[in-house]
Structure 1
Amino acid sequence: MIWLAWRQFRVAAFAMALLAVAVLGTLVLTGPHIAHLYSVSGLNHCVSPDACSQARDAFFGAIKSDGSTPVVYFALIAVLYLLPALLGLFWGAPLLARESEAGTFRLVWTQSVTRRRWLAVKLSVGTAAAIVLTTALSWGITWWSSPIDRAAQLPGGQDDALPNHFNPVVFGARGVVPVAIAVFGFLVGVTAGLLLRRTLPAVAATLAILATVQATVPMAVRQNYATPDRTTVPLVVQSRPGLQLQIVDSRLTVRMPVDLPGAWVTSVNLVDATGTPFHGLAPQACEGMLESPDSCFAAINALHLRQAAEYQPGDRFGRFQGEEAALYALLSIVLAGLCFYRIRRMVPA
């Protein structure tokens, strides 16, 4: 039975394996260059905050001047975010729906193989392959990105174009979370195929479910794993990356990046010196901001405003990884249980 399941599954598995080999080959070819830039920048042996800040700036300057490295960095993140969908669409959805459409499952069920064993073997082969494939890619990408991730966690990293690994964009492409999401994606496809019994509707349902879940978890679920810490920092407006300044109906809205090394900043609010939310008028110096932005910045700084930030400290990264992986594992178990429940009551069409 395992041999038969593998023969039915091998074409899709080989196609994904070729993708993995291409990605891992890229990592092997380009990874040593990033490690070299990290070493020559001085980040390996810097001690004082000023020295580390200068070394970090030198490292990211070299990364940005290279040009191709940021492109590869975000492309690798995209690969791990797309992988669950690919596994669900091309591995999971056709796995049972195709057999239902062709009617081949009837032959198997008339032999000595029970329905539950038939399903268990198919789920085991697909899940094991998904774990091996995603573990290799996640480990390789985490290794490749580790110099960038370490540098982005240093003070001043909020100015860098490449975010730290706790950032919502990066978090799902590091550690064990991609593996858990990949297994979940595969089982979403299998469940959709079993319930709908048609490949194309199962593919559409799988894509819709995965898109919804992968958008909802980072935006609405992840921040609830732990109560965020809070801090207030003085607002110092200056021309630098991340400045957001808007004046609408003479009302001032301004925000500067908050430097919390390695943290995930979930919200930033503008407050006055007493901690009351600020909704005041913009200084008159800001009326001609385009001609004299420095005067506007100085006038805003003279208001002595502060920024109240909520954030998840960087040392919670491992905890959040474990909790999110456990969440997807639980959802995967529920889907597998639903499949076994459905297969017992399934009447051949």
Structure 2
Amino acid sequence: MSTSTNPSIHGRNGTANRTMNAMTNATRNGPGHGAGKASTPEATRRPRLSGMTWLVWRQHRAAFWTLLAATVLCVAWMVYQRAQMMDFLHAYGFPAKNLDDAGKQFDPYIGAFTSVTTGLTAIPVMLGVLLGAPLLAGDLENGTAKLIAAQSVSRNRWLATKLALTGLVVTVTTVTLSAVFAWWWNPVKLHYLDIDWTSREFFNTTGPAPVALALLSVFGGVLIGVILRRTLAAMVVTLGFTVALQAVWGYFKLSLGDILTATSKPVSPGTTITFPSVPRTAHVVDTSYVSGSGKPFDLTTCTDTLSEQATTSCMKKADIVGASIDYIPISQMSSMQWFGASVLFALTAGIVVFLFVWGRKRLV
């Protein structure tokens, strides 16, 4: 009986059968196989995907092309915004003139930063939910995984191709976006005080941080999909996983750096305290008074007094002789990102190993 008259192949099984036919043709001949095409020198010289790589690309080409197209559009927008910002800086007289004095003139360019960083910080979450979770859960749900397991191609090769091609696309897009955004921000990075480099909008969108967050989100979503074996359920759980990942990353982010302390010169107790200076773009972690014995006091010490004389008396009683500022300079930003990214890369590698050791047994 022909497949056109067998009702069992329709619906979910129809998708699985189409994938099986494509896989069979791809693994035997590669795309574009035929007497007329294979014999031409142009066809043999032209680089083309073939075999399992071609099959995986074809299966997920809509998601891959959408991701690549969105990257191109975002890069074009950032290049345009940087050109606009550089025109303003040249007309303003930067760097001879302090950019902090620009006031509202520079607000439109800060708004452009904000609009782009909002989208960039959401990329790991969106990739985990829309790309990672359905990657294998869809095959397990519609039966494609069982058909592939019955073919000559091993599950290890199928899984490796899926993960490698997906990881490559994610890496290319996030590296490109990270590099272009850093290039856009770099001219004012050390000069504009209203931009906090430790915020997620800037720390999570430059250097290796966005790549590491995106890969862990995607492969974490893949693992969740293998466990749940249902696309919608995997997407919902992956959403919670990626949001939790962002929260944990934000909580431990500052611990990746070395906190430095600047201390003012000691003065007599009760004398006006002069706070020490720190680098312009440093992130201040804490500010406190310091007693003669080196004990720190909160800045609210003696603030409940009603008069200047009472405040002076309180400061003398507490033996406060100076002040200190704990801070992290922007020069540590790159090392903090690489240290944190190395941890995320290690977790991602652990997930991949777990998928091959345990997860491949469930791909049936």
Normalised TM-score (structure 2): 0.73
Instruction: Quote the Cα distance in structure 1 between the aligned partners of 2:224 and 2:82.
Output: 39
* TM superposition shift of 1:308: 2.8
Match of 1:230 among 261, 268, 281: 261
Instruction: Quote the Cα distance in structure 2 between the aligned partners of 1:323 and 1:123.
Output: 24
Task: State the partner residue of 1:12.
Answer: 63
Instruction: Quote the Cα distance in structure 1 between the aligned partners of 2:315 and 2:92.
Output: 34
Work out whether 1:322 is the aligned partner of 2:338: yes
Work out whether 1:282 is the aligned partner of 2:313: no
Task: State the partner residue of 2:214.
Answer: 182
Task: State the partner residue of 2:100.
Answer: 57
Counterpart amino acid of residue 282 in structure 1: D
Superposition RMSD in Å: 3.2
After superposition, the Cα gap between the structure-2 partners of 1:282 and 1:175, relative to the gap in structure 1 and judged at 3 Å, is same
Match of 1:161 among 190, 194, 200: 194
Instruction: Quote the Cα distance in structure 2 between the aligned partners of 1:266 and 1:259.
Output: 12
Identity of aligned residues (%): 27
Counterpart amino acid of residue 262 in structure 1: T
Counterpart amino acid of residue 35 in structure 1: M
Work out whether 1:102 is the aligned partner of 2:145: no
Instruction: Quote the Cα distance in structure 2 between the aligned partners of 1:82 and 1:339.
Output: 25
Instruction: Quote the Cα distance in structure 1 between the aligned partners of 2:200 and 2:286.
Output: 13
Instruction: Report if aligned partners of 1:261, 1:314 keep a CA contact under 8 Å in 2.
Output: no
Instruction: Report if aligned partners of 1:166, 1:263 keep a CA contact under 8 Å in 2.
Output: no
Instruction: Quote the Cα distance in structure 2 between the aligned partners of 1:110 and 1:30.
Output: 52
Instruction: Report if aligned partners of 2:262, 2:276 keep a CA contact under 8 Å in 1.
Output: no
Query: Any residues of structure 2 matched to 1:213-228 within 5 Å, and which?
Result: 213-220=245-252, 222-228=253-259
Instruction: Quote the Cα distance in structure 2 between the aligned partners of 1:27 and 1:347.
Output: 41
* TM superposition shift of 1:275: 4.8
After superposition, the Cα gap between the structure-2 partners of 1:94 and 1:305, relative to the gap in structure 1 and judged at 3 Å, is farther
Match of 2:362 among 339, 346, 349: 346
Instruction: Quote the Cα distance in structure 1 between the aligned partners of 2:201 and 2:332.
Output: 16
Instruction: Report if aligned partners of 2:285, 2:326 keep a CA contact under 8 Å in 1.
Output: yes
* TM superposition shift of 1:304: 7.9
SS of alignment partner, residue 287 of structure 2? strand
Instruction: Quote the Cα distance in structure 1 between the aligned partners of 2:363 and 2:176.
Output: 39
After superposition, the Cα gap between the structure-2 partners of 1:257 and 1:331, relative to the gap in structure 1 and judged at 3 Å, is farther
After superposition, the Cα gap between the structure-2 partners of 1:179 and 1:230, relative to the gap in structure 1 and judged at 3 Å, is same
* TM superposition shift of 1:285: 5.6
* TM superposition shift of 1:22: 2.5
C-alpha deviations, 1:134-193, integer Å up to 9, x for none?
Answer: 1111111111111221313xxxxxxx4322x34454211111211121111111111111
Task: State the partner residue of 1:116.
Answer: 156
After superposition, the Cα gap between the structure-2 partners of 1:345 and 1:70, relative to the gap in structure 1 and judged at 3 Å, is same
Farther off after superposition, 107-116 or 199-208: 199-208
SS of alignment partner, residue 281 of structure 2? coil
Task: State the partner residue of 2:285.
Answer: 266
* TM superposition shift of 1:218: 2.5
Instruction: Report if aligned partners of 1:228, 1:310 keep a CA contact under 8 Å in 2.
Output: yes
Farther off after superposition, 114-123 or 16-25: 16-25
After superposition, the Cα gap between the structure-2 partners of 1:216 and 1:99, relative to the gap in structure 1 and judged at 3 Å, is same
SS of alignment partner, residue 267 of structure 1? strand
Instruction: Quote the Cα distance in structure 2 between the aligned partners of 1:216 and 1:321.
Output: 15
* TM superposition shift of 1:197: 0.8
Instruction: Report if aligned partners of 2:217, 2:242 keep a CA contact under 8 Å in 1.
Output: yes
Runs (5+) with no aligned partner, structure 1: 47-53, 153-159, 235-255, 287-296
Instruction: Report if aligned partners of 1:116, 1:343 keep a CA contact under 8 Å in 2.
Output: no
Task: State the partner residue of 2:128.
Answer: 88
Instruction: Quote the Cα distance in structure 2 between the aligned partners of 1:233 and 1:135.
Output: 42
Instruction: Quote the Cα distance in structure 2 between the aligned partners of 1:115 and 1:312.
Output: 48
**How many equivalent residue pairs?**
300
Match of 2:180 among 117, 137, 140: 140
* TM superposition shift of 1:29: 1.6
Work out whether 1:78 is the aligned partner of 2:118: yes
Runs (5+) with no aligned partner, structure 2: 1-51, 266-274
Task: State the partner residue of 1:68.
Answer: 108
Q: Which of 1 and 2 has greater Rg?
A: 2
SS of alignment partner, residue 325 of structure 2? strand
Task: State the partner residue of 2:5.
Answer: none
Instruction: Quote the Cα distance in structure 2 between the aligned partners of 1:102 and 1:258.
Output: 63
SS of alignment partner, residue 133 of structure 2? helix
After superposition, the Cα gap between the structure-2 partners of 1:78 and 1:257, relative to the gap in structure 1 and judged at 3 Å, is farther
Instruction: Report if aligned partners of 1:101, 1:197 keep a CA contact under 8 Å in 2.
Output: yes
Counterpart amino acid of residue 337 in structure 1: V
* TM superposition shift of 1:330: 0.6
Instruction: Quote the Cα distance in structure 1 between the aligned partners of 2:182 and 2:340.
Output: 17
* TM superposition shift of 1:43: 3.9
Task: State the partner residue of 2:54.
Answer: 3
* TM superposition shift of 1:69: 1.7
Instruction: Report if aligned partners of 1:77, 1:173 keep a CA contact under 8 Å in 2.
Output: yes
Match of 2:325 among 309, 322, 347: 309
C-alpha deviations, 1:55-106, integer Å up to 9, x for none?
Answer: 2324x43xx3254322221222222211111111111100100111101111
Match of 1:206 among 238, 252, 276: 238
* TM superposition shift of 1:231: 1.9
Instruction: Report if aligned partners of 1:34, 1:147 keep a CA contact under 8 Å in 2.
Output: no
